[in-house]
Amino acid sequence: MNPDAVPDRSTLRTCLILLVVVPQATLAAFVPAVPHIAGDLATSPAAIDRSLVLYMAGYALAMAAAGMLAARTGPRTVQLAALVLHIVASVAVAAAPDVRTLTAARVLQAFGGGAGTVLARVYVQEALPERQRLAALTGLSTAIALTPALTPPVVGLLVDHLSWRPIMLGLGLLSAGTFLVARRTLPHSEARTADNGPGLRQVLARPQYWWFTAAICLAWCVYFTFTTFSSHTLQVRLGTTSTVFSLLYALVVAGYIVGSRTARRMHQRHRLERILLVSGLVSLAATAAMTLGAYLFPREPLVLVVPMAVAMTGIGAAFPVCQAGMLRSVGANARSASGLFFFLQMTSGAAYTGVLSWADPTESVALSLAVLAPAAALAVLVTAVRPPRNIPGSTASRPARTGGSAWPRRDSHRSPAQK
């Protein structure tokens, strides 16, 4: 793909933002509606929570498949087909007569929406000149952070006065609009049987790739566990309304936004590994405080939400740091490696919450412990397991220093994705 062949880059950036908004809105709009959906389908909220787990499993598979298919057919064909699937699946969700149909349709929604998470970044890397990539990546990160913050309050207001089915149908309309924009905007690009840069085998042999992958998996387990079970805990167990829950959840996501912005500022002076160290310790301290608070005041929603918002500043910083570290380790344009990275991230969250769902961790203390466990594992990883300084064959490699701190200093030649 030739960056000079893209006629309207501002329109392209808008299109890419829509591509990452679709799956985020599909997830976020569902959370405050869980009790209403359970009541309408005559099932338990726990059964609807399990559909969230399967949604994330489909989301993970979609990203792995999107990376591999894009290498064979080009990202445009894959993205347009995925949006069509999301439209059809959204109609099926809105018309679902029972929980099994709903769950199957949600998995198809995930397949249709998840492709954009990977392919939007492929287009940033391949369709935009280097000087414009940082602004585009910042826009994507902001959209990914704001969508879960803004969607639940709106849906919470609507679902108290309107059936959940029109809301789910609205997701299909969002995807249809995105399809029309993408069809006119996304440039054609060549298929590739191999990435430019290191091959997938070489990438998988690099410890730094796995270190950053493990870190984002644990950070995602913290985030997704709270997202999956907090609706039941706060609305059913503690009796908050959908509107109040949405506002409380928005506070949690606001912590994520603060963390993401803080990480970008910190990277002006600190290496990615150092930022991730601080992020892990902040998340551990906050989730430990949440567990203590839930034990002492089990009926108070704020003892869950306020510490979780603080923990999310660490998680919000960890996500872009891990993604930048992954891109640094794989080198230029590694579609399959990026798809695998996001696949493993989503699979970890789906697997962890899938196991937890059978124990029903919706009591305040149980939810706090479920969130604390991956936060503690993340803190252990970033403090006790340190990746090697050099990345053989990567542009980030440089001779190791003798003496000094075990943590490497920041690179003097960072890519836009690292800033």
Q: What are 226-248's pLDDT values in tens digits?
A: 988 998 899 889 999 877 887 89
Residue ranges of E strands in 354-410: none
- Distance between CA atoms of 122 and 126, rounded to whole angstroms? 6
Q: What number is the average pLDDT over the span 26-31?
A: 85
Separation of CA 33 from chain center: 20
- Distance between CA atoms of 410 and 268, rounded to whole angstroms? 9
Contact between 124 and 140 (Cβ < 8 Å): yes
Q: Is residue 419 pLDDT above 70, yes or no? A: no
Tokens (6 digits) for 82? 């995925």
What pLDDT is stored for residue 416 in this prediction? 37
Interior/surface letters 152-161, b for 16+ CB within 10 angstroms, e for the rest = bbebbebbee
- Distance between CA atoms of 310 and 287, rounded to whole angstroms? 8
Q: Of the ranges 8-17, 203-212, 292-301, 312-321, which is most confident?
A: 292-301
User: Residue 44 CB: number of other CB atoms within 10 A?
Assistant: 15
CATH 1.20.1270.360 fits 1-193, yes or no: no
SS3 418: helix
Angle at 157 between CA 151 and CA 161, to 5 degrees: 135
At the top level of CATH, the class of 198-390 is: mainly alpha
Q: What are 308-354's pLDDT values in tens digits?
A: 999 999 998 898 888 778 877 776 555 677 778 888 887 888 789 88
- Distance between CA atoms of 191 and 253, rounded to whole angstroms? 37
Nearest to 55 by CA among 87, 102, 97, 88: 102
User: pTM higher than 0.85 for the full model?
Assistant: no
- Distance between CA atoms of 110 and 22, rounded to whole angstroms? 10
User: One fold for both 1-193 and 198-390?
Assistant: yes
Ordered by start, the domain boundaries in the chain are: 1-193, 198-390
Q: CA neighbours within 13 Å on the CB side: how many for 122?
A: 35
Q: Is residue 398 pLDDT above 50, yes or no? A: no
